[in-house]
Amino acid sequence: MKSEPIILVNKLSKEHKMHRKEEGVKGSLKALVHREYTTIPAVKDVSFSIHPGELVGFIGSNGAGKTTTLKMLSGLLEPSGGSVEVLGYRPAERKVGYLKQISFVMGQKNQLLWDIPAIDSFNLNRDIYEVPEKHYREVLDELVELLDLKDILHTQVRRLSLGQRMKCEFVAALIHTPKVLFLDEPTLGLDVVVQQRIREFIKAYNKRYGATVMLTSHYMDDVKEICERIIIIDHGKVFFDGKIDQLIQQYATHKTLNLTLAETATRQNLAKYGDIIELAGPTVILKTPTPKTSMIAAELLANFKVIDVTISEPRLEDIVREVITQRVILDS
Ligand SMILES: Nc1ncnc2c1ncn2[C@@H]1O[C@H](COP(=O)(O)OP(=O)(O)O)[C@@H](O)[C@H]1O
Ligand SMILES: [Mg+2]
Ligand 1 touching residue 18 (CB < 6 A): yes
Q: pLDDT tens digits for 264-274?
A: 889 999 999 99
- With a CB cutoff of 8 Å and minimum separation 6, the contacts of 74 are 91, 102, 104, 182
CATH entry, 7-248, from 3.90.230.10, 3.40.50.300, 3.90.1170.50, 3.90.580.10: 3.40.50.300
Q: Would you state the pLDDT for residue 163?
A: 93
What is the β-pairing status of strands 212-216 and 180-184? parallel
Atom of ligand 1 nearest to the CA of 14: 12
Atom of ligand 1 nearest to the CA of 70: 17
Instruction: Tell how far the Cα of 231 is from the centroid of ligand 1, in angstroms.
Output: 18
- Helix H or strand E segment including 76: none
Which numbered ligand comes closest to the C-alpha of 43?
A: 1
Q: Would you state the pLDDT for residue 37?
A: 81
The full set of domain ranges for the chain reads 7-248, 253-312
Q: Would you state the pLDDT for residue 316?
A: 87
Ligand 1 touching residue 107 (CB < 6 A): no
Q: Would you state the pLDDT for residue 28?
A: 72
**Best of 13, 15, 43, 67 to mutate for ligand 1, by most ligand atoms within 8 A of CB?**
67
Instruction: Tell how far the Cα of 91 is from the centroid of ligand 2, in angstroms.
Output: 19
Instruction: Tell how far the Cα of 52 is from the centroid of ligand 1, in angstroms.
Output: 28
Residue whose CA lies nearest to ligand 1 atom number 18? 67
Of the CA atoms within 13 Å of residue 89, those in its CB half-sphere come to 18
- 241 near 282, Cβ under 8 Å? no
User: At residue 179, what is the residue type?
Assistant: K
Cα–Cα distance list, 179 to 134, 205, 284 (Å): 19, 10, 50
Q: What predicted TM-score, i.e. pTM, was given to this entire model?
A: 0.87
Q: Would you state the pLDDT for residue 328?
A: 61
- With a CB cutoff of 8 Å and minimum separation 6, the contacts of 269 are none
Residue whose CA lies nearest to ligand 1 atom number 24? 63
What is the β-pairing status of strands 254-261 and 283-289? antiparallel
Residue whose CA lies nearest to ligand 1 atom number 12? 42
Atom of ligand 1 nearest to the CA of 65: 17
151 vs 171: CA distance, rounded Å: 14
Instruction: Tell how far the Cα of 68 is from the centroid of ligand 1, in angstroms.
Output: 6
**Best of 12, 15, 16 to mutate for ligand 1, by most ligand atoms within 8 A of CB?**
16
Atom of ligand 1 nearest to the CA of 216: 21
Residue whose CA lies nearest to ligand 1 atom number 4? 16
99 vs 90: CA distance, rounded Å: 11
Ligand 1 touching residue 44 (CB < 6 A): no
Which numbered ligand comes closest to the C-alpha of 59?
A: 1
User: At residue 11, what is the residue type?
Assistant: K
Task: Name the stretches of the chain with pLDDT < 70.
Answer: 1-2, 21-22, 31, 327-332
Ligand 1 touching residue 13 (CB < 6 A): no
Cα–Cα distance list, 217 to 59, 107, 164 (Å): 7, 10, 19
Q: Would you state the pLDDT for residue 326?
A: 76
Which numbered ligand comes closest to the C-alpha of 41?
A: 1
Q: Which CATH number applies to 253-312?
A: 3.30.70.1150
Q: Would you state the pLDDT for residue 2?
A: 63
